[in-house]
Structure 1
Amino acid sequence: MSSWCIFNLMRLTLYTDYALRTLLYLGVHADRRVSIREVAEAYGISENHLVKVIHHLGRGGFVDTLRGRGGGLMLARPADQINVGDVVRHTEEDMALVGCMAPDGAGVECVLARACHLRGVLGEALGAFMAVLDGRTLADLLKPYERKVLQQAAPHMAAPNTLKTAENTG
Structure 2
Amino acid sequence: MRLTQHSDYALRALVFLASNPDRLSSIREIAECYGLSENYMIKIIHRLGQGGFVETIRGRNGGLRLGQPTDTIRIGDVVRFTEDDCALVSCMQPPGERNGTPCLLMPDCILRHTLDEALEAFFAVLDNRTLADMIGESERQKLTLPAYTAS
TM-score, normalised relative to structure 1: 0.80
Instruction: Determine whether 1:78 maps to 2:69.
Output: yes
Q: Distance in 1 between matches of 2:81 and 2:72?
A: 15
- How do 1:80-159 and structure 2 match up within 5 A? 80-108=71-99, 109-113=102-106, 116-151=109-144, 156=147, 158-159=148-149
Structure 1 runs of 4+ with >6 Å offset: none
Structure showing greater Rg = 1
Q: CA deviation digits over 1:33-88, x for unaligned, max 9?
A: 11101100000011111111101111101000012201010001211111111101
Question: Equivalent residue of 2:85, what SS?
Answer: coil
Uncovered stretches (5+) of structure 2, i.e. residues with no partner: none
Uncovered stretches (5+) of structure 1, i.e. residues with no partner: 1-9, 162-170
- Percent of aligned positions with the same letter in both sequences? 56
TM-score, normalised relative to structure 2: 0.90
Higher relative contact order (CA 8 A, sep 6+): 2
For residues 44 and 146 of structure 1, do their structure 2 counterparts lie closer, same or farther at Cα, with a shift above 3 Å needed? closer
Q: Distance in 2 between matches of 1:83 and 1:64?
A: 17
Q: Distance in 2 between matches of 1:54 and 1:17?
A: 12
User: In angstroms, what is the RMSD of aligned CA positions?
Assistant: 1.8
